Structure 1
């Protein structure tokens, strides 16, 4: 044992005495230049170390890229490096590295404005040198005569890097980042198998501003001969603070992959079972984190300009799961891609709520089941969705769509079952709240609401001003603002802020709706035009669904209109409404009141007669028609015509749509007709018009709008008295007013009001 120990000591003394490590400097510089193209400068001494293993230490070394100015910061540098040697090979005169330690690494990576990195020259050189190596070259240590000619072994028991720093500057995308406190640990490093690898560093960026920490564990494999590199069983985790996103919370994530591989000779990159999971904080979520996860497998071949995504999945907890697959060709210049994508029915409402983007909806359950599936294909400019199946709650749509990728574009041809749009609009109470109050308050409220909507939807209007739109939509049923439409066919098209509605056709309450329109959002204020036409529409169910009331009218409605409006920051949509309209209601009735019965009873009393005719509870009419002129939200009419059995009514006035009030003057004239046997009318009485004045808030019932116009009736009686004979008429009216007619007036109007009316009538003839 003593002899063997002395022999080992003798060998060490011999090796360290006659093998000067500084003799390796030229060989090391040549080897680095040969294999990498780097110009290695060994500024410090090379020295032996004896404990715990024999090794060589290098201090203060740097490496410049080919053609790089020596006065520039080196591509790579280190403070100290130590190579530990295996003892047994030294006995046969060979050198094999047992371990490698690197302290104070400094690496400068740069990408120029054209997108080429300074490291790419290094990779190209390594790949060229490795591919040019003879296949028969043996990697086993060889016996050589001088230390300067001895090759470096390719197997390293361990590699350790500490206190490293990597600076990365990307001039193409204006990025600047630094990796500091970099530590790397690898053992049994070889090009013939895999070896464990651990890496960690602190990350700091100025463009964008960020700070964080990253750690990685994996089994790495390096095939230098074939220039293939892989990470197996990758486990990456990290956290970072991004002040631009949230300056109070760290964004955390993990990445796990079965295998990541790169084949530099064929420029092929693969990833198998790569999984991403993270929790992200955004300001509008408060302290709650947004979970995001993803899984994918695929490969990218730059040599073939081809990419394959075998399968991918994107999820956010239980709120979202998007899956699919695809492939792409022509990656360099003529990109074309295709695949399949599917989103399982998901609670989109909760997702939007967490993002702070949930719009107000009348139905609190809306958007809780949203999913779709489609074949997809496209290029750099557009995406085509074929065999598209879209489900939104109870609505199912099928068809095709085209989406713009570099410009806003939406072309779609869809068919569906039914859509209740009211579920996704604000509740009616919210919409109607601005209609309450005084006319001036209403106008101010409408303006405030419009300003608020315009302020909150600037991005939407910006998109609308540049969107290329072509939409064909067919629905079995559509509910909007309470109206129920069936067999709906809609076309919309336009671009650059100018859009048209060439066709809107639907069945509407036993009748039809036909309409066209246009919208211009390119100007400073948005302008709209709309031309609807209704034919044979049942009026009572229309009013029931539109206004929530079925106690006003029934009948068949025909109507048409040509309307236009504009809205911006100065006025509401209704305040700028202009146009013309007309309507005609036939075979209808005013519900809950019988106007002929009341007037005929009064007429019989005025003539000293009585009637035993039984009247219905409604006022049936043959026709109810008018034409309308609309100027700045005020609807004016001067030809209202209502034809009742035995009564003709004419009227004129206006309705302020923005202030939601009306002011109308009506005149009823009794007519002696064959079908009103209970209402005989004298020639004198048939010439007297019974005036009504209707005014008030549109939200009130019609019974609250209209009242008997005493002043107008006084003027009518004076005119009639002058033509018929004042004294005779006065005596006749006195008898009637003191008799049953006076009693009926008091019954209808009350004792005080009735007395006042009787005295007013008498006063006309004093």
Structure 2
């Protein structure tokens, strides 16, 4: 019985517990329902009996306090209720504090609407069902001093943010209650339509407008990815442009950690740029695996970005120029550094430049370093497409150019170390420094073979071989071959500011057709004053040493050059320099001190001055035999004939002269040529500008064993045989010199007169010493007679 009572009591307790739990659950549900009904009632009451337009003054005051903008709500405010709470604002504008009513407002929109989901509000979450903005107008302006009208707004908002209590951390933290939980962002859709942003820059005279701006996004959540689309039309001046741009991506906005990113970015654009081409549309596209910005850590990165573009240039005609860029990198403003992990610049098959690098001290004193490599490419075609191809004598030059180098520098200087450059058939290595802030070139290079003539502008000689003949000079003289071009103003401006330090070593060098070996060149200077401190080279079995200077700091440029040639084979030198091997052969030793000035359209040759001396030993004048001509003439004068066989050239032991050069005209009065059996002296001039010569020579025949085919009388050996050499330097030597009969006739007359006078003097002397002398002394006395005889002899001295 006792047992049955216990069981009954226990059963009643269990039933009571169940009843109590059910009652409690009913009470909670009832409370929730009452609260929900109360919230609905409050919302219904607020939307029914409260006019949102009454809030306009408070909204304007709040905007003014937070941003400094003067808000004008010109249209009505309205809201909606269940299933979404929404508010609509029409015709609103905001002006800057100092803006007048006559100016366009800083910002305005036609209509804006925000809709909130009601149910999530009960759990403390904000879920925006949608946000639309139609007819946005934003006017940005920078004044002549570079101050933007938005800067005041940014400063005001930043100041308001600094006035708020500091939060320990913006990152998510564990919370003890729902009230401590951070609000979640969940926006079903965002839509902006018919937007316009106008930007005017008075400092740089630029004007740009983004119109038809449209933005769409859906399922916008904090920390999650959502699709984003953006498009707009752009029109501007300086530079003139007109086109459209569109963007698609998966965006991520982590508001708590301030991390924002665009994944799988795809951007496309099409633009008319008058600066490039008026008729064709320039198109480009950008794809990137990820663009990210961490504003808390001030870190920004791009991963696998690829930019492809097709551009048209006037020089290309209907052909497009493809350009592509691939890059991955990161910028950290907090650490004041950046890195470019990979980079590639391509232009179809014409160019591929790759590299990597890093930079530090971004905000203060920028320093950077890295590596660049350019695969051998047809640089000529690439430069031609860009309209930057320089005039070169060789139409095949620059078709194979590649390089590899470490790079480093700062804002003022770029240094290329461990540099290896391949230019066509030339390989160079060393180091180069290039100025970024001002013209500077410091280089130390060594290489194998360089044909500099390939890369220089075509010479006058090349132009003469083309269909268009060179034009005569303004003074009527024919154009001088390789006279050198005048310097234009852009070249002079660069030369007046260039900081130059050049050290060059080459195994072989071809320059202005001269073939040099084992070349060592050193030059330096700045601010228009430059000096060639050393030029040493092996030259045609001999040696060249030279130094010089150039001054372009003044209004006119001046040049000085002091070359010295030792043991140089003359015939190959003339063949390469003038394209002729029919002038002279022999071994040349020469020294010169030359100077010139350059003004206007003049060339260096027009004002060439200086002094020079030279000696040619064991040589010959080609194509003419002067001893043969002289011997034939001498035999004829003596009434003889000669059957001696003469060679085709004039062999000589020594050919020497010293010259003065004035305005490109070489003047000489001490020419001396020593030939076997003949001594030649002369004087005259060679006009380098007119390319002609005029020389008077005098040859004396000498009875030597070498003149066995040309016997010379003692009388004739004392008579100079005159030669006159004149004509164009382009003619063969055989056309230059001829026997001067007129001069020889004058010499004979003078000689005959002198010989007759001598015979008369001898006859008078004999008479004065004989009976005639005795008679004079007898008549006048010994002293007076002696004086008279001396006076008579003086008449014939």
Within 1, Cα distance between the matches of 2:83 and 2:395? 72
Within 2, Cα distance between the matches of 1:440 and 1:180? 59
Is 1:94–1:143's contact at 8 Å kept on the other side of the alignment? no
Q: Deviations over 1:380-434 (max 9, x none)?
A: 1111111111111011111111111111111111111111112223156335579
Pair 1:18 & 2:45 matched: yes
Pair 1:291 & 2:322 matched: yes
The CA deviation at 1:42 is 5.5
Hey, what does 2:462 align to over in structure 1?
430
Pair 1:318 & 2:318 matched: no
Matches within 5 A, 1:569-588: 569=600, 571-588=602-619
The CA deviation at 1:565 is 1.0
From 577, 587, 595, give the equivalent of 2:626. Answer: 595
Is 1:305–1:331's contact at 8 Å kept on the other side of the alignment? yes
The CA deviation at 1:105 is 1.7
From 679, 696, 701, give the equivalent of 1:670. Answer: 701
The CA deviation at 1:199 is 0.6
Pair 1:327 & 2:358 matched: yes
* SS of residue paired to 2:562: strand
Is 1:450–1:569's contact at 8 Å kept on the other side of the alignment? no
Pair 1:698 & 2:725 matched: no
The CA deviation at 1:575 is 1.6
For structure 1, which segment, 409-418 or 349-358, has the greater mean C-alpha deviation from structure 2 after superposition?
349-358
Within 2, Cα distance between the matches of 1:697 and 1:602? 25
- Residues 270, 376 of structure 1: alpha-carbon distance in 2 compared, 3 angstrom cutoff: same
- Residues 381, 172 of structure 1: alpha-carbon distance in 2 compared, 3 angstrom cutoff: same
For structure 1, which segment, 457-466 or 582-591, has the greater mean C-alpha deviation from structure 2 after superposition?
457-466
Pair 1:179 & 2:210 matched: yes
For structure 1, which segment, 32-41 or 673-682, has the greater mean C-alpha deviation from structure 2 after superposition?
32-41
5+ long unaligned stretches in structure 2 = 1-36, 760-797
Taking structure 1 as the reference length, the TM-score comes to 0.83
- Residues 431, 560 of structure 1: alpha-carbon distance in 2 compared, 3 angstrom cutoff: farther
Within 1, Cα distance between the matches of 2:320 and 2:39? 62
Hey, what does 1:348 align to over in structure 2?
379
- Residues 270, 35 of structure 1: alpha-carbon distance in 2 compared, 3 angstrom cutoff: farther
The CA deviation at 1:355 is 2.7
Hey, what does 1:722 align to over in structure 2?
753
Hey, what does 2:530 align to over in structure 1?
499
Q: Deviations over 1:124-147 (max 9, x none)?
A: 579877966776679999799xxx
From 650, 654, 659, give the equivalent of 1:623. Answer: 654
From 663, 669, 680, give the equivalent of 2:711. Answer: 680
Matches within 5 A, 1:204-353: 204-353=235-384
Hey, what does 1:4 align to over in structure 2?
none
The CA deviation at 1:586 is 0.5
Matches within 5 A, 1:104-253: 104-109=135-140, 113=145, 118=151, 120-121=154-155, 124=158, 154-170=185-201, 175-253=206-284
Q: Deviations over 1:297-345 (max 9, x none)?
A: 1111111110111111112222222111111111111211111112221
Q: Deviations over 1:498-525 (max 9, x none)?
A: 1111111100011100111111112222
- RMSD of equivalent CA atoms: 3.8
- Residues 133, 485 of structure 1: alpha-carbon distance in 2 compared, 3 angstrom cutoff: closer
Within 2, Cα distance between the matches of 1:29 and 1:438? 82
Taking structure 2 as the reference length, the TM-score comes to 0.80
The CA deviation at 1:216 is 1.0
* SS of residue paired to 1:714: helix
* SS of residue paired to 2:500: strand
Within 2, Cα distance between the matches of 1:520 and 1:14? 94
Matches within 5 A, 1:643-662: 643-662=674-693
Within 1, Cα distance between the matches of 2:481 and 2:654? 38
Hey, what does 1:751 align to over in structure 2?
none
Q: Deviations over 1:143-165 (max 9, x none)?
A: 99xxxxx9986200110001112
From 510, 531, 547, give the equivalent of 1:516. Answer: 547
Matches within 5 A, 1:56-135: 56-62=87-93, 76-86=107-117, 88-89=119-120, 96-109=127-140, 113=145, 118=151, 120-121=154-155, 124=158
Is 1:268–1:301's contact at 8 Å kept on the other side of the alignment? yes
Within 2, Cα distance between the matches of 1:513 and 1:708? 37
Within 1, Cα distance between the matches of 2:203 and 2:612? 61
* SS of residue paired to 1:419: strand
Is 1:291–1:317's contact at 8 Å kept on the other side of the alignment? yes
- Residues 155, 435 of structure 1: alpha-carbon distance in 2 compared, 3 angstrom cutoff: closer
From 541, 561, 564, give the equivalent of 2:592. Answer: 561
- Residues 51, 566 of structure 1: alpha-carbon distance in 2 compared, 3 angstrom cutoff: farther
Within 2, Cα distance between the matches of 1:310 and 1:292? 20
Is 1:515–1:532's contact at 8 Å kept on the other side of the alignment? yes
Report the structure number with the largest CA radius of gyration: 2
For structure 1, which segment, 72-81 or 273-282, has the greater mean C-alpha deviation from structure 2 after superposition?
72-81
The CA deviation at 1:360 is 3.1
- Residues 91, 550 of structure 1: alpha-carbon distance in 2 compared, 3 angstrom cutoff: closer
Is 2:139–2:199's contact at 8 Å kept on the other side of the alignment? yes
Within 2, Cα distance between the matches of 1:321 and 1:167? 38
Within 2, Cα distance between the matches of 1:623 and 1:139? 109
Hey, what does 1:488 align to over in structure 2?
519
The CA deviation at 1:292 is 2.2
- Residues 697, 669 of structure 1: alpha-carbon distance in 2 compared, 3 angstrom cutoff: same
Pair 1:472 & 2:503 matched: yes
5+ long unaligned stretches in structure 1 = 1-9, 145-149, 729-766
Q: Deviations over 1:435-461 (max 9, x none)?
A: 97878665485799988x54xx43222
Within 1, Cα distance between the matches of 2:182 and 2:512? 85
